[in-house]
Structure 1
Amino acid sequence: MSVQLNISAEELSDKGHWLRKFRKAKNINTLQLMVSNAIDRHYKSPAIAAAIYLAECQREREMEQGRFLDR
């Protein structure tokens, strides 16, 4: 069972929202699964897809630098 929260489209199109979610990923495989799931849910909105992509790129850079679970 999954829990769906009512989150505004404005918040979903914010990179910070996705970055906070993606920081829970501890390895690149988990991050890829999280991104794939997010894109599957929000592919119809270009603004949200762009925010997901930007957050993914930033999180990958953080992982390369060894930063995990930062605020």
Structure 2
Amino acid sequence: MSIQEKISIDELGDKGHWLRKFRKAKNLNTLQLMVSNAIDRHHAVPAIVAAIYLAECQREREMEQGRYLDR
């Protein structure tokens, strides 16, 4: 059983969960790879895909503003 399997569906549907993960990305290339991987794993659950998309958008805005640390 992997770590990913231990996380509940409710937590995966939370934008904050994905935002914490995506804040590890320090450039747009890395962020795109992380998002692509997450979508590949969870494409069947619309609520999770929506949370991933929202977190990606927020992280991109943070990067444009020069915010790279998890606050």
Q: TM-score, normalised by structure 1?
A: 0.94
Give the match for residue 29 of structure 2: 29
Q: Which whole-Å CA distance do the structure 1 matches of 2:69 and 2:25 have between them?
A: 8
Following superposition, which runs of at least 4 residues in structure 1 exceed 2 angstroms of deviation?
A: none
Task: Let me know the Cα RMSD of the aligned residues.
Answer: 1.1
Higher helix residue share: 2
Q: Give, as a single letter, the amino acid of the residue that structure 1 aligns with 2:9.
A: A
The SS at the match of 1:48 is helix
Q: Which whole-Å CA distance do the structure 2 matches of 1:4 and 1:49 have between them?
A: 20
Give the match for residue 2 of structure 2: 4
Q: How does 1:10-49 map to 2 (within 5 A)?
A: 10-49=10-49
1:4 CA displacement: 2.2
The SS at the match of 1:31 is helix
Q: TM-score, normalised by structure 2?
A: 0.94
Identity among equivalent pairs (%): 81
Q: Give, as a single letter, the amino acid of the residue that structure 2 aligns with 1:19.
A: L
Q: Give, as a single letter, the amino acid of the residue that structure 1 aligns with 2:68.
A: F
1:48 CA displacement: 0.1
The SS at the match of 1:36 is helix
Which ranges in structure 2 are unaligned for 5 or more consecutive residues? none
1:7-56 Cα distance to aligned partner (Å, 9 max, x none): 00000000000000000000000000000000000000000000000000
Number of aligned residue pairs: give it.
Answer: 69
